[in-house]
Amino acid sequence: NKQIIFPDYVTGFPKESDLKITTTTIDLRLPEGSTSVLVKNLYLSCDPYMRICMGKPDPLSSSLVPPYKTGVPIIGLGVSKVIDSGHPDYKKGDLLWGLVGWEEYSVITLTTYSHFKIEHTDVPLSYYTGLLGMPGMTAYAGFYEVCSPKKGETVFVSAASGAVGQLVGQFAKLMGCYVVGSAGSKEKVYLLKTKFGFDDAFNYKEEKDFSAALKRYFPEGIDIYFENVGGKMLDAVLINMKLHGRVAVCGMISQYNLVDPEGVHNLPTILYKRIQLQGFGVCDFYDKYPKFLDFVLPYIREGKITYVEDIAEGFESGPSALLGLFEGKNVGKQLFVVARE
């Protein structure tokens, strides 16, 4: 059983040597009387929050994302096939997605919303790490529940071509909003405009002044900001928000590797413009997962929602695929294949 072990807590930008690949043996049958489920991991997901789990335990973040234990495989989300089960809801051959170790086989204990059975297999299985998994639910809950969008409103999305952002943009278009995204390369900007239907997009790495860039696309201001990056972008957005605008704080990836997070200077604008700024965690919305599937599956089948994935091949590619998120190497949802069946 190959495993990707987390040796010790990380400060600053993580390196590949911060994760170690080892091999152990595993019994491919559960002991008599076990209520656990033994799974073979097929697709493992690389998600930015995992960097927060790699930091020293911090009571501030651990209520949302618990820190990793050292010396054992790191935990992430994955799509897996049941090999043996002591749980009444699962039998051999069933597919599920949820929390597993970064290893070829995992023994999992089911708790509320820790795992979801995969019932629809007419779509790519890998989608359950992205579009039909945690990032999809994040885009759905964050946009519809937190942003309360209305037809005709102006929407800005940062890290817009990623696992979450590409969906927020498509949901905003379905709602009849005007939506602009920012991303870190020409290729990503092209995808936003041609594949995901954003009305416009820009490469933030080519902009000296983020506020001036936002004014170009939103001369009347922004109604909704879907925040994925934090830092200087948040500062620039705040002064470009409309009166009574809403900011859904989904993530702040530009801050996760910093020892001292950057300050935000334009906070008084929140008062002057009566902006509603709300952080949220997808874990608080999983009761809506069945409703989300009913909503999104027809759009996927009709080709009205599309999804770009960045799939790395092989177990050994896991660490570099994960670290690549923090350099913007991924184009679309980053995951890696452990086994195809």
Query: What backbone phi and psi angles, to 5 degrees, belong to 338?
Result: -95, -45
49 touches ligand NDP by CB under 6 A: yes
Q: How far is Cα 76 from Cα 83, in angstroms, rounded to an integer?
A: 19
For the CB of residue 328, give the shortest distance to ligand NDP in the complex, in Å. 3
DSSP annotation of 141 reads I
- What does the longest C-alpha to C-alpha distance in the chain come to? 66
d(CA 227, CA 156): 8
**180 vs 199: CA distance, rounded Å:** 6
Q: Which has the closest alpha carbon to 50: 61, 35, 34, 38?
A: 61
Q: CA-CA distance, 234 to 33, in Å (whole number)? A: 52
Nearest residue to ligand NDP by CB is 162
Give whichever of 3 and 142 is closer to ligand NDP, judged by the CB atom: 142
Which residue number, 136 or 149, has a Cβ lying nearer to ligand NDP? 136
Residue 71, classed as helix, strand or coil, is coil
Q: Which is closer to ligand NDP, CB of 101 or CB of 162?
A: 162
Binding flag, residue 86, ligand NDP (CB under 6 A): no
Span from 6-14, 121-129, 194-202, 249-257 in contact with ligand NDP (CB under 6 A) = 249-257
In angstroms, what is the minimal distance from the CB of 234 to ligand NDP?
11
Asked if residue 188 binds ligand NDP (CB under 6 A), the reply is yes
CA quadruple 20, 21, 25, 29: dihedral sign: positive
Binders of ligand NDP among residues 206 to 235 (CB under 6 A) are: 228-229
Residue 197: φ, ψ to 5°: 75, 20
Q: Which of 183, 293, 305, 338 binds ligand NDP (CB under 6 A)?
A: 183
179 Rama class: left (phi>0) / alpha (psi -120 to 50) / beta: beta
Among 250, 275, 308, 338, binds ligand NDP (CB under 6 A): 250
Site for ligand NDP in 279-338 (CB under 6 A): 280-282, 325-326, 328, 330, 333-334
Contact predicate 118/97, CB 8 Å: yes
Among positions 14, 165, 318, 319, the unique one binding ligand NDP when judged by CB under 6 A: 165
Which residue lies nearer to ligand NDP by CB, 125 or 325? 325
Judged by beta carbon, residue 130 or residue 245, the one nearer ligand NDP is 130
Task: Give the whole-angstrom CA distance, residue 319 versus residue 337.
Answer: 12
Instruction: Give the CA count within 13 Å in the CB-facing half-sphere of 168.
Output: 36
- In one letter, which amino acid is 77? L
Contact flag: residue 184 with ligand NDP (CB under 6 A):
yes
Q: Which of residues 251-280 bind ligand NDP (CB under 6 A)?
A: 251-254, 280
In the set 14, 42, 43, 48, which binds ligand NDP (CB under 6 A)?
48
Size of the site for ligand NDP (CB under 6 A): 31
- Which CB atom, from 105 or from 336, has the smaller least distance to ligand NDP? 336
Binding positions for ligand NDP, rule: CB under 6 A: 47-49, 135, 138, 159, 161-165, 183-185, 188, 228-229, 250-254, 280-282, 325-326, 328, 330, 333-334
